[in-house]
Amino acid sequence: MDVGEEAPAELGVLVGFDDDLAQEATRLANRIRGLLTQIHPALERVLGPKVQTTAVLELLSRFGGPAGLARAGKRQVTAVARKNAPRAGQALADAAWQALAEQTVVVPGTKAAEAVLPRLADTLAQVLAQRRDLATEVEEILDAHPLAQVLTSMPGVGVRTAARILLEVGDATSFPTPGHLAAYAGLAPVTRRSGSSIRGEHPPRGGNKQLKRAFFLSAFAALHDPASRAYYDRKRAEGKRHNAALICLARRRVDVLFAMLRDGTHYEHRPARAA
């Protein structure tokens, strides 16, 4: 598909910058969780898994760590949490307040952590806001691409995944078969051989790692789709672990995606077959 050279070039720059922002967001989130674990493990168990949500970042930005939350009081903490998360805010505030009561000892370094946590939270919020703005710009470029709607019609394929696929795969004409595409993405199992003996298959370690990650995350996001979920459940019933089952699902989805790109057709929902 010839859409000119300017659009793919712009898309490549924006997607590359988004990758940098994603790495920075992960680094900041890990740093916040590390500080919380150092000064108050119980509170980290509540806030850590949701550290990139607006409610948690606002709590950390306003009150800092456990000492700041305790000084603010449960009513104010609940008000801030519910304002930024109308559905889950109350449960988040209750869990955080319960976690505060589990530790009465103030460990060394708490005061410094209380001063650093709001800064980290503000920086992480800015990075996440940049990613949201960047996603809008990427979507505007994708709207002009003839294959963008074909890709996003598939469950689990969002703006970022579609952009990555278009950059790395294009219209898939460079790959003779879906197996070649799966091998390029590092999703095809490799058979271990020694002389004339075959020692089974093992996951590949090569391939395009960015494309493999995009397919893997796309498969995980597609578990809400009945057909994808049924295939995943069948693989789990065969004894495969979670990641292995997702790799199998991603490999299966490569076949579908290859046909969609080849024919320019949208995804067709079909009844799921139970495990």
Say which residues have a Cβ less than 8 Å from residue 205's Cβ, sequence separation at least 6: 186
Structure tokens given for 228: 């994808």
Range of the domain at 16: 6-143
Confidence of residue 192 (pLDDT cuts 50, 70, 90): low
The domain boundary residue, chosen from 112, 143, 174: 143
For the chain, what is the mean pLDDT?
87
Q: Is residue 269 part of a domain?
A: no
Q: Are 114 and 68 in contact (CB under 8 A)?
A: yes
Q: Is residue 248 part of a domain?
A: yes
Q: Is residue 1 part of a domain?
A: no
Mean pLDDT across the stretch 84-97?
Answer: 93
Mean pLDDT across the stretch 135-161?
Answer: 86
> What is the structure's pLDDT at 118?
96
Q: Is residue 50 part of a domain?
A: yes
**Maximum pairwise Cα distance, the chain:** 72
Asked if pLDDT for residue 193 goes beyond 90, the answer is no
Q: Is residue 137 part of a domain?
A: yes
- For 212-234, write each residue's pLDDT tens digit: 988 999 999 999 999 899 999 99
d(CA 260, CA 186): 20
Q: Are 186 and 212 in contact (CB under 8 A)?
A: yes
Asked whether residue 157 falls in the same domain as residue 135, the answer is no
d(CA 69, CA 149): 46
Asked whether residue 94 falls in the same domain as residue 202, the answer is no
Confidence of residue 133 (pLDDT cuts 50, 70, 90): very high
As a whole number of Å, the CA-based R_g of the chain is 23
The strand ranges marked E within 102-235 are 190-194, 197-202
Structure tokens given for 52: 């990139």
Residue closest to 123 by CA, chosen among 52, 67, 63:
52
d(CA 263, CA 132): 32
> What is the structure's pLDDT at 271?
63
Asked whether residue 204 falls in the same domain as residue 243, the answer is yes
Asked whether residue 91 falls in the same domain as residue 118, the answer is yes
Q: Is residue 272 part of a domain?
A: no
Asked if pLDDT for residue 172 goes beyond 80, the answer is yes
The domain boundary residue, chosen from 143, 159, 182: 143
pTM, whole model, 2 decimals? 0.77
Phi, psi at 47, each rounded to 5°: -90, -30
Asked if pLDDT for residue 272 goes beyond 60, the answer is no
Asked whether residue 129 falls in the same domain as residue 243, the answer is no
Q: Are 266 and 153 in contact (CB under 8 A)?
A: yes
High-pLDDT (> 90) share of the chain, %:
52
For the chain, what is the domain count? 2
- Name the one residue in this structure whose structure tokens are 């995943």: 232
Q: Are 113 and 33 in contact (CB under 8 A)?
A: no
Q: Is residue 73 part of a domain?
A: yes
> What is the structure's pLDDT at 191?
60
Asked whether residue 119 falls in the same domain as residue 34, the answer is yes
Residue closest to 257 by CA, chosen among 224, 214, 226:
214
Confidence of residue 1 (pLDDT cuts 50, 70, 90): very low
Structure tokens given for 169: 């795969």
The domain boundary residue, chosen from 143, 176, 204: 143
Phi, psi at 200, each rounded to 5°: 90, 180
Asked if pLDDT for residue 240 goes beyond 70, the answer is yes
Asked whether residue 138 falls in the same domain as residue 152, the answer is no
Asked whether residue 93 falls in the same domain as residue 106, the answer is yes
Say which residues have a Cβ less than 8 Å from residue 91's Cβ, sequence separation at least 6: none
Q: Is residue 270 part of a domain?
A: no
Mean pLDDT lowest among 34-38, 120-124, 187-191: 187-191
Asked whether residue 127 falls in the same domain as residue 201, the answer is no
> What is the structure's pLDDT at 5?
64
Asked if pLDDT for residue 4 goes beyond 60, the answer is no
